[in-house]
Amino acid sequence: MAYTSYNVNAFVAEGCKGSPAAVAVLGEPLPDSRMLEIAAENGVPETAFILKRREGLNLRWFTPDLEMDLCGHATLASAHIAFTRLRQEMGENPSFDGDMLYFDTREGRIGVRNESESRYTLDFPVREGKAAELPEAIYDSLSIKPDEVYLSRDYLLIYSDYKKIGQIEVCNRELFDTVDLGEGGVIVSAPGFGCYDFVSRFFTPKATILEDPVTGSAHCTLVPYWSSRLHLKAMRALQMSENRGELYCRLDAGRVLITGMAEEF
């Protein structure tokens, strides 16, 4: 079955390459097994599948290994394609309402605002972490040990210094991969530097791609934590992967609003 595919970098900025996503636009549904095959063939952190329907746009996200419950950078990439390529092509569609776009997803209806050319704001749920014990296999696999541990979908590990975030390595991948977190992963984070309020990185056990370049969904947990700790509602964040990505985040009425730039390549 034919589909149209686009490649988009999300959360790009000066000095930040962002995170690559493939966006596949479907006219008819594909079997889950085929979508997983396509995601594995694409070999990028996430492939988003937009199903065009008369009643609106359906959005699903697949890594090379599994379907995700929520993905930030691939939603940002999908919004860019929807606004720049699909809106005019589809004409009147309930997914589009002025500067707002709505996707139907596993997480429910997700809104994305078109702020300006190539700049979008995701309206995501809060996933506040609770104090937790870190599995021994993850603890022993990390080159630098955390000061605090929290758990939502993902483990959130807090460090005292942003320099440690850049230095952390998964030094025993075999041991790390004995832990199955399903759709979850391991966030490492610390107070920021310069213009950034906080920084992070993201690792996933058992995944084909160990480190995710920019993880928008992780900020559903990061934002409430740092908002409480820093006494800020609006924050600027940096994900310190090799690619790097920049996110503007705001806690608003029990939602996490994440703004970033996208560019097709």
Count of C-beta atoms within a 10 Å radius of residue 106: 14
**Which entry of 28, 46, 115, 183 is annotated as an active-site residue?**
46
Dist CA 114 CA 117 (whole Å): 8
DSSP state of 135: P
Which run of H or of E encompasses 102? strand 100-105
Q: Which candidate, 224, 213, 207, places its Cα nearest to that of 156?
A: 224
* Rounded (5°) CA angle 88-68-127: 100
Dist CA 174 CA 158 (whole Å): 23
List phi, psi (to 5°) of 42.
-70, -35
**Active-site residue 46, yes or no?**
yes
Count of C-beta atoms within a 10 Å radius of residue 95: 23
Taking a C-beta distance cutoff of 8 angstroms, is the pair 160, 200 a contact?
no
Most distant pair of Cα atoms in the chain: their distance:
54
Dist CA 225 CA 190 (whole Å): 11
114-136 burial, b if ≥16 CB within 10 A, otherwise e? beeebebbbbbebbebeeeebbe
The two tokens of residue 192 are: 């920021």
Task: Please classify residue 98 by burial: count the beta carbons closer than 10 Å to its beta carbon, then call 0-12 exposed, 13-18 middle and 19+ buried.
Answer: exposed
Which sequence positions are flagged as catalytic? 46
